[in-house]
Chain A
Amino acid sequence: DVVFTDPAAYKQSLAKVYAGLAIGGQSSGDGNSDISGIDGGFSQYIRMYFNLQELPTDEAVIGWNDGTIQTLHFQNWTSQSEFINAMFNRVYFQVSMANEFLRQTTDDLLATRGVTDAMKADIKQYRAEVRFLRALSYWHGLDMFGSIPLVPETNPIGTDAPGQPAGGKQDVFNYIESELLAVEPDLGKPKTMEYARVDQASAWMLLAKLYLNAETYIGAEKYTESLTYLNKIIASNAYTLDPVYGNLFLADNHKSPEIIFPVAFDGTYTKTYGGTTFLAHAAVGGDKMKPSDYGIDGGWAGLRVTANIVNLFAPADGRGNFYTDGQSKDIPSTPNTSFNQGYAHPKFQNVSSTGAPGSNTTFADTDFPMFRLGDVYLMYAEAVLRGGSGGDAGTALGYVNQLRVRAYGNTNGNLQASDLTLSFIIDERGRELSWECHRRTDLVRFGLLTVSDNSDPRAIWPWKGGESAAGKQTQAFRNVFPIPSAALTANTKLKQNDGY
């Protein structure tokens, strides 16, 4: 409590809840890690989110031997995977930071501390942002782990934590929805906040995502609700497509007009081995790629894509940023054998739009676009195609073609109305949003992550299943990750997900 005698502590505490997404600990390079049992940078939130959202899919393989990391792509992970455990712990670290912030900023406490009215108004907004961030992590938890415990901030520290709610995923869904609706009025109007702080558009986007995936989560169609909030974002006119697609992933992407909610990184002040530092370094390797071309001091020879993703791109599609020299498209040996198998995909880079390297060649300046307008357009089209009302196919086609024009530099890639199908959408999401941590969620929504009911060949990619370069289907229970065994042990009220 002594800490809060300094009014600056409220914003510093707020900054910690945000920083929980950006850096693994309290010192440079993720030292003094927020979670223990795993290296701070290794387990950084966005890095874990990437590992769990991308490695199990056709979008990424990794060349390393760290613990059980290969089981992610092989889809043979278990509840003992330290990566799954780390993601789970990052989610609940965010929850506990948010809860502590809310406990420390109750009206009663603020009154006893003699906080000024102006400060109280700020804190009211902080509380809304913190509740948004907590809802965001709960949504990540719902998406990746299914039914997860909801911990009320009224629970004192160290008391028993609840197990999963009685109503399961439905309760988690309802809670996230109600929280977002509750904080919406207290959040800033779109684009009125300081950079990197959330505003109403972030809450709308999260609601839209929650509704778009409602069928996955609760077996109910909420495409109309999704469109409602997507329309609010579009109607705010606060965001426009970045004229240059690639600039969205460069060191000066804070200037991009397209990003709705970034996780901010900085090579000087926010030094992490996770986030975009990881994405920029791990994508570079081999003899031919020059790290200096990407604003980094060296490649980590980790991430590549499978041929499935490469094959999605027409040659004229400018989004197909693959490095092929010295690389083979196929991955005949296991992904950890050689970086040269599979094309490199240096999408995230630490150079600016003018080609200047970032402020530090080890740690990237590039921000991570958690939510951006391009995604809004594709979600809009998908929600319309899935029967949501509040949008129309013509508008959807227009939005999609805006993305196509940007990708091709001309109208050659434009679609006809008849081309706009759900099958097109999943492929277009692969092209537009590759490596932006959407793929696993998307494949689950399209029924392609594990098994495919209609034998869609897109449900097979190299090394899926872990047995061969050809890949094979896996069991449907892997559409969610297991609750980590450490959490089950620590809280016997928790139930393991089916199949694990």
Chain B
Amino acid sequence: QSKVVTGKVTSAEDGASLPGVNILEKGTSNGTVTDSNGQYSISVTDNATLIFSFIGYKSQEVIVGSQSAVNLTLQVDVTSLSEVVVVGYGQQEKKDVTGVVATVDSKSFNKGAIVSPDMLMTGKVAGVQISPSDGQPGSGSSIRIRGGTSINASNEPLYVVDGIPVVSDGTAAGRNPLNFINTNDIETFTVLKDASAAAIYGSRAANGVILITTKRGKSGTPTLSYDGFVSVGTVAKKYDVFNADQFRSIVTYYAPQNLKYMGNPEAADVADRAYDTNWQNQIFQTAVGQSHNLSLSGGTDKTNYRISLGHLQQDGIIKTSYTKKTNIGVNFSQLALDDALKIDVNVKGAVTEDFYSADVIGAAISYDPSHPVYDAKSPFGGYYEYYDSIGGKRVPKVNSPNNPVSSLMQSQDVGSVLRSLGNLQLDYKVKVVPGLRFNVNLGYDVTRGQRKQFLPSTLKAENSPDTGKVVIQNPYKNSMLFEGYINYTRDLKSIKSKVDVTGGYSWQSFYAENHGYTATQLSTNIYGYNNPGVARKTIPFDPLSTTAIPSLGENRLISFFGRVNYAYDERFLLTVNLRRDGSTRFGPNNKWGTFPSAAVGWRIANENFMQNQNIFSDLKLRAGYGITGNQDIGNFRYLGTYTPSDPQANYQFGSAYYTTIRPSGYDTNLQWEQTASSNIGLDFGVLQGRLSGSIEVYQKNTDKLLFTRAVAPGANLTNTILTNIGKVQNKGIELTLDAVAISTTNLTWNVGFNAAYNTNKITQLDGNNDPDFPGYAAGDNISGGVGNKVEILRVGQPVNAFYVFEHKTGPDGKPVNDNLGAEDKTNMYVDQNNDGIINEKDLRPFHRPAPRVLMGLTSQLNYKNFDLSFTLRANLGNYVYNNVASNSTFQRAGDAFRPLNLITNSLRANYYTPQYFSDFYVENASFLRMDNLTLGYSVKQISKANIRVYATVQNAFVITKYSGLDPEVSVSGIDNNLYPRARTFVFGVHIGL
């Protein structure tokens, strides 16, 4: 019995027909291929199953049953071996890649109301940790690829957007400099992780490179699509603080002298004097957001174009904060000169606006709940505030806390940034020499911003002695790029070889400035930040005199680079990269640095002995070694410079005040930080490619570490100097797995999993390895005291290991209490050196902020018209210093200025005096987080329109033992009143015409 089945195969990506698709009747050798229109016809037996396969697409099996027509849409296979990946200065077929290159494309991006582009790939790439600095809308992130290599230079990767290396350090006027990219325009992220992949970017590649490619038009009928969503964000978790009654009993017990400050003594009616204000409820809001994107793309075989328009608006969960952005993007490409010349033009522009809410989380936790929010008699904008009566006038009570609602609602602080980036790329194929082409890339990247802050005189903090304040800053940056390279590709069939040689030159300049002024003693508040002319005092700030040395001035980078790819017999691969960079950041002896790399690959799957097995569909072994650099340290660090003093930091001689000039310390021999990294990797595919993945083992040794070390007394003009000294080592293993778990006509399920393990160690810090030297205090200052640091840099320890006392545990299982301030800390802390006293010699390194293990799990399930996807992410072995808790001890109730409320968690330890250096506050912050969960429904083909509606929950849940609000607290590892992350519900629609 047989019958004829016909049908058409199309691509899921763009609906185009697919010619050349292999169709095989399962279990037989009966097969055919689709014609140029994607049509096919095949004669099969009853109950046959057809297997459709095509390079670059996922194979699908279809049970024919009674059907006589089987039309099929093939899904693009992102793990496909024939996939072309973007590498520095060109593209490469994935099968030929020898370095560690990971790609995340738009289909697997994280879903939801995402403002910041990097959040699209969180959890998707093994060994890439993306930590948002906090929960502000559109906040920036810190990205660590395979752990940080540096201590004092930047640890952020280099971003290359459509071929232009961009400046990713922020300006004063925006939260995240990368927000100018429309998330809807991004086609792929490509992460170059190891030196053999990244060395082509030389001195900037030590922390890896992230290539961002934006979407382009495709030939065919014009496609118009709309993507939009609305989102609602809620506070995921609040601090549990004492209510007014509970707090009153705490004050009664610990500091009865402070009871008189509670309530609202001004209220006429005694009953009105007791409030129970939940300050956190007063500062949080439901954050509403919306986003609309329109794109039009199309083209012919000579021309294609894509134009996109986007607008996004996202409120923060703290009142007043928001981010807004409006993007426009144009990509145009044209073939000319008989198709020899390809012209690509990209222009992206965005206006972003960020409203910064006042920093009120700490105040909302600690402000006495027995006070009202408002006070009709208050001269402070009508808000309740602590005051002293002087001459019948209310003046602010100094050092008392500020009403968080007043701070929030009365201050204005908005930054707006216009950023545009574009390039013109010409690619010319020399027809007389097949395989030879020239490529020229001219690019620009300009950022102009303004930050305007207005603090009215009715704010308690501004009320005296300077009345009101306006701060205006005008950051400006630009970067110009010229690059050219020659590429020659040749397939030498006679010797079974393929060569691909690239050589080029690059020139890039970076200019940055920030000027502005502070105006105080405003004669009126009515103009807000718009008319600082009403100020009686205006202090222009000259960026030369501030610490912002890296943000003023220009630096240039001139580079020569080359690459040779050689493949023999589709089995043996060799890649050699070389880049030579010259930077104006270093002195004459060290201007130039050379960054070589080499890698080899062995495609085992193509060996003869592999042809008779059917376990592995792919097997490739890779090994690479290379040196990359880091120069992200700011300008002029090798030169003696003079810093003039501010007008308010002058010195008096006689009756005149003189500006002082200070010579700054410098190291003329400053040079590149170098990271030598080696990597061994194995790529594999089994079960006909349904399960594929890779395993990587790497080691990165950073030498000539740019490190600010102590100076021998009197040897320089400062006590610490940035110099090249010290070594850091990172070692790790990465595993990436992609599985097509189910693939049938109605049901497909793809699962991606990645895991990475990284350890980091300082192997040398100073020229001398004095065993008695404990190391350098490190990390951000904690809140509490001045200049207290709880992290250390010590040889043999990870970077920024916590450095704390070992707290003794009492019989009740709780940390031993301090009994109201008795000084004998030997009861509380372990005397590590047994000298009978507890001092800083008894501190010891204890865990570290960086996670040991990163894991990500992505699932995409399609059933008929429904799709369900989620991303789960886990960090293990990361520790956080809970500064909110360490500050919250009962001494606050007896604060000399006003009683301060506590988190209820304070009862856990019951400390009276703060124990900032106790390991009790270094908490295991390992977590499992569901970043997003999306359910979608595709309403296909309603009068040719593709419509999909979906709902997403972002930050659906977090499982952690950490006692604070959120275990993910930016790379510093110190949790101090961070802007909390929202839980966001998103409803969206995609319409494609």
Residues of A within 8 A of B (CB): 3, 9, 11-13, 15-16, 18-19, 22-23, 25-32, 34-39, 42, 64-68, 71, 74, 76-78, 80-82, 88-89, 92-93, 95-97, 99-100, 148-149, 151, 155, 157-161, 194-197, 264, 266, 268-272, 285-287, 290-292, 297-301, 333-334, 336-339, 360-362, 463, 466-467, 485-492, 494
Contacts and interface: CB of A to CB of B under 8 A. Distances in A.
Contacts of B660: 12-13, 15-16, 19, 26
A12 B644 contact: yes
A37 B777 contact: yes
Contact of A65 (B397, B668, B784, B837): B784
Nearest to B646: A27
Contact of B839 (A42, A76, A494): A76
A25 B575 CA distance: 52
B11 to A, nearest CB: 59
Nearest to B657: A269
Contacts of B837: 76, 466
A100 B773 contact: no
A196 B768 contact: no
B813 interface: no
Interface in B651-705: 651-655, 657-663, 665-669
Given A19-B645, A35-B719, A93-B719, A151 B714 contact: yes
Contacts of B359: none
B711 interface: yes
Given A3-B642, A155-B715, A66 B785 contact: yes
Given A67-B788, A68-B840, A158-B667, A266 B712 contact: no
Interface string B540-562: 00000111000000000000000
Contact of A491 (B715, B788, B823): B715
B270 interface: no
Given A26-B649, A266-B657, A361-B464, A32 B546 contact: yes
B963 interface: no
A490 B777 contact: no
Given A466-B823, A487-B710, A271 B773 contact: no
Contacts of A29: 648
B713 A28 contact: no
A39 B784 CA distance: 13
B714 A99 contact: yes
Contacts of A81: 840
B810 interface: no
Contacts of A18: 651, 653
Contact of B773 (A25, A92, A290, A488): A488
A487 B896 contact: no
B586 to A, nearest CB: 15
A159 B716 CA distance: 8
Interface string B831-872: 000000101110000000000000000000000000000000
Given A100-B717, A487-B713, A78 B840 contact: yes
Contact of B647 (A16, A269, A466): A269
B465 interface: yes
Contact of B716 (A42, A82, A96, A290): A96
B718 to A, nearest CB: 7
Given A151-B713, A485-B774, A270 B787 contact: no
A336 B773 contact: no
B301 interface: no
A255 to B, nearest CB: 12
B716 A11 contact: no
Contacts of B398: 291, 297-299
* Residue of A292, A297, A486 ringed by the most chain B CB atoms within 10 A: A486
A68 B838 CA distance: 11
A339 B399 CA distance: 15
A80 B774 contact: yes
Contact of B649 (A270, A487, A494): A270
A89 B913 CA distance: 31
Contact of A488 (B644, B649, B770, B894): B770
Interface in B774-814: 774, 776-777, 784-788
B708 interface: yes
A16 B662 contact: yes
Given A12-B658, A197-B653, A492-B770, A339 B896 contact: yes
Contact of A492 (B666, B768, B777, B841): B768
Report the interface size class on chain B. 35 or more
30 contacts: A11-B653, A13-B661, A13-B663, A16-B660, A18-B653, A23-B651, A28-B646, A30-B649, A32-B545, A37-B720, A65-B913, A65-B916, A81-B840, A82-B777, A97-B717, A149-B713, A196-B652, A269-B652, A269-B657, A270-B650, A290-B388, A292-B390, A334-B823, A467-B824, A486-B719, A486-B776, A487-B712, A488-B770, A489-B766, A490-B710
> Which 8 pairs of residues, A with B, have the shortest CB-CB distance?
A298-B398, A151-B714, A194-B654, A491-B712, A28-B648, A161-B715, A161-B712, A19-B651
A270 B657 contact: yes
Contacts of B646: 26-28, 31
B54 to A, nearest CB: 62
* Residue of B642, B649, B839 ringed by the most chain A CB atoms within 10 A: B649
B710 A336 contact: no
Contacts of B546: 27, 31-32
A357 to B, nearest CB: 10
B914 interface: yes
Contacts of A38: 787
Interface string B762-774: 0000101010111
Contacts of B710: 37, 486-487, 489-490
B588 interface: no
Contacts of A463: 823
Given A291-B398, A485-B774, A195 B652 contact: yes
Contacts of A155: 714-715
Contact of B788 (A66, A88, A157, A197): A66
Nearest to B539: A28
Contacts of B914: 65
Contacts of B90: none
B533 interface: no
Interface in B421-449: none
B886 to A, nearest CB: 11
Given A194-B654, A334-B823, A297 B667 contact: no
B640 interface: yes
Given A157-B640, A157-B666, A196-B652, A42 B787 contact: yes
Nearest to B723: A158
B825 to A, nearest CB: 10
Given A65-B913, A76-B837, 6 more contacts: A99-B714, A158-B669, A266-B652, A270-B650, A285-B896, A301-B399
A189 to B, nearest CB: 16
B903 to A, nearest CB: 19
A125 to B, nearest CB: 12
A411 B897 CA distance: 43
B257 interface: yes
A103 B711 CA distance: 19
A83 to B, nearest CB: 10
A337 B821 contact: yes
Interface in B253-277: 257
A93 B715 contact: no
B709 interface: yes
A62 B787 CA distance: 16
* Residue of B666, B668, B712, B770 ringed by the most chain A CB atoms within 10 A: B712
B643 interface: yes
B465 A361 contact: yes
Contacts of A334: 821-823
A172 B591 CA distance: 41
B668 A9 contact: no
Contact of B648 (A68, A99, A268): A268
Contacts of B821: 333-334, 336-337
A195 B655 contact: yes
